[in-house]
Structure formats: C-alpha cells, structure tokens
Amino acid sequence: MPASQITSNISVIELREIDIMGQVIKIHVFNQWNFSINSNTSELIYDTIIVNNNYETLVQVKLKWFDQQQEVSFANEKYRIDPATMKFSMKMSEYRFDNRFNTLELILFSSIMSVRNQSLTCSRAQFGNTTDNCNFMKLQVDNHSLYGKFIRKSIVDNHILEVINSGINTTTSENTTQSFVSIKLPHYLDYLEIDPTFSILLDYNIQYSDSDQHCYISDQTVTRSVALIVSLVIGLFSLTVLIVVFFVTMVNTSPACINVKILYLHIKFTILYFKVKK
C-alpha cells in the first residue's frame, strides 16, 4: 500500500457573545497566545486575555497527548480516552456580559487532508450522538479520520450545566474534509470549563454509502506504513502545536509497543515522533 500523509488541524477561532434573540453582538478573535508547558503533566498550556466592558477575561487552553488508553473524569462523569488522542480543555475566568440574559458561543475549526497517489479517494463529514451522552464529529478522508468527542456538559460556577455542540459550514473535496464546530456556552459569573477530545483513527477496511457518494477501501497488505501529521493550531495567526506521528504497523500477534520521544520544543510548535509496532 502506498504511504499516506495526513494533515489534521484543530483551531480555536473566536468567542461570540449572543443576545436573548440569538444575535451575535460581540466577537473576540483569538490571535495572540502565551505558551508554557507543565513539566509534571506534559500538558501544553496556552493563555490569552480578552477584554469586554473594560474587564479582562483569562482564557486558558490545555492540550495533552495520550498514547495509551486511559479513563478520565469531567463534570462528575468518567469517560475513556483512546490511544492517539489529544485531550483539549478550556477554562475561562469571569466574563463581563452586556446583560444577564446573554450567552457565549465558542467557534472551533477542524480539517483533515490526505496526500496520496491513488485512483479512488473519498471524503465525508459526520455529526451525531454517542452512547455515553456526548456529541461526536468525524471528518474522514479515505481510511483516515479526525474524530472529535464533545461532552454535553460544562462546569460553571461549581455547577454542571449543559452545552450545545454542533457542526456548521461543513465542506468536502476530493482529499479534504473541513468543518467549523459551534459550542454554545451558558451565562456564568466566575468561571467556565469545557473538555472535548480529538483522536486520529486509522481504518483499513471501510465501506460506506451516502446519497451523494459511495466508497469502498480494502487493503490486505501485511505491512502497512502511514506517515501522519497532526497539527493543532491555536488561533488563526498564533501559536501552533505541530505533532508529527509516524505509524509503522506490522500485522502479527505480538502486543503493541509505543515509544514516544519529544525531539524538539519551541514556543511556536512541538514535534513528537511515534513509532507503533504490533
């Protein structure tokens, strides 16, 4: 099977204030972040300040890569983190709303693109519900998918409140699928937290049928080699976390062995190499 290069982007674009009529009255674009790393937890931390009604709100985004399955908890619920998953968490300090009836809307951008020489290429986007009370987004190109899982809960002023997650403005082309994601957040006083995750899925036997496309991909090659690039972009022109992942899979009965090494760390990007063998 020919090698594939998969580029995936997740961007935190902007925060909108919404009035009681559902109209956007303020837009805060995220375009400047301060970067740090927690040496104890290996979390990448991005901070920025937005100003509304002469009051500063701290917005903090934390990113953590999981190379093994793990169980985590958020909003009094436990959920599973699968391997090859980037856990994304966001916390905001007090935001001075124009009035007590207004709410917020967080806009994310996500995309996946394949560079591969083959005669058949398919792409599509899916949004739906999971069995554990979450929403999911799946952007697929050929046998590679960017999978986002969005918990329907937020932690707001020591209370657990519902959020509404939806996909908007989805587009697909021959080798690219992209979508904006809307996370509607409730009114709050002191702080707010959300906790989505993003995973890379590699599926070697895929069959699906939509009204506008039909695609079947099957490969029985014993040795499969995929070069995968995942970049998480925080802001349109701001800091970028670039994760370069090389998967080399040998089909046999031995257990998987995953070695992770951070080769280069800079305030603008992080590069990691993963080698997976079975």
For residue 170, give the 3-state DSSP assignment: strand
Burial of 124 (0-12, 13-18, 19+ CB in 10 A): middle
Of the candidates 85, 94, 219, the one whose C-alpha atom is nearest the C-alpha of residue 148 is 85
More confident residue, 171 or 269: 171
**pLDDT at residue 56 is higher than 70:** yes
Q: Is residue 99 part of a domain?
A: yes
Q: Is residue 37 part of a domain?
A: yes
Can you give the pLDDT at residue 134? 87
Q: How far apart are CA 196 and CA 200, in angstroms?
A: 14
Q: How far apart are CA 160 and CA 151, in angstroms?
A: 12
**pLDDT at residue 187 is higher than 60:** yes
Q: Is residue 228 part of a domain?
A: no
Q: Which H or E element spans position 87?
A: strand 85-92
Domain of residue 80, CATH code? 2.70.98
Can you give the pLDDT at residue 185? 96
How many helices (H) and strands (E) are present in the chain, helices listed first?
0, 24
Q: Is residue 277 part of a domain?
A: no
Instruction: Kindly report, residue by residue over 200-223, the tens digit of the pLDDT.
Output: 776 544 545 554 453 544 444 333
pTM for the full model? 0.74
Can you give the pLDDT at residue 250? 30
Q: Is residue 18 part of a domain?
A: yes
Over residues 49-57, mean pLDDT: 96
In sequence order, what are the residues at sequence separation of 6 or more whose Cβ sits closer than 8 angstroms to the Cβ of residue 39?
A: none
Please count the structural domains in the chain.
1
Q: Is residue 39 part of a domain?
A: yes
Instruction: Kindly report, residue by residue over 100-159, the tens digit of the pLDDT.
Output: 999 999 999 988 887 765 555 677 888 888 887 789 998 888 777 888 889 999 999 999
Portion of the chain with pLDDT greater than 90, in percent = 35
Name the residue range of residue 21's domain. 9-219
Can you give the pLDDT at residue 3? 52
Q: Is residue 273 part of a domain?
A: no
**pLDDT at residue 225 is higher than 80:** no
Q: CB of 144 within 8 A of CB of 6?
A: yes
Q: Is residue 254 part of a domain?
A: no
- pLDDT level of residue 10 (50, 70, 90 thresholds): confident
Instruction: Kindly report, residue by residue over 94-109, the tens digit of the pLDDT.
Output: 999 999 999 999 999 9
Q: How far apart are CA 195 and CA 88, in angstroms?
A: 6
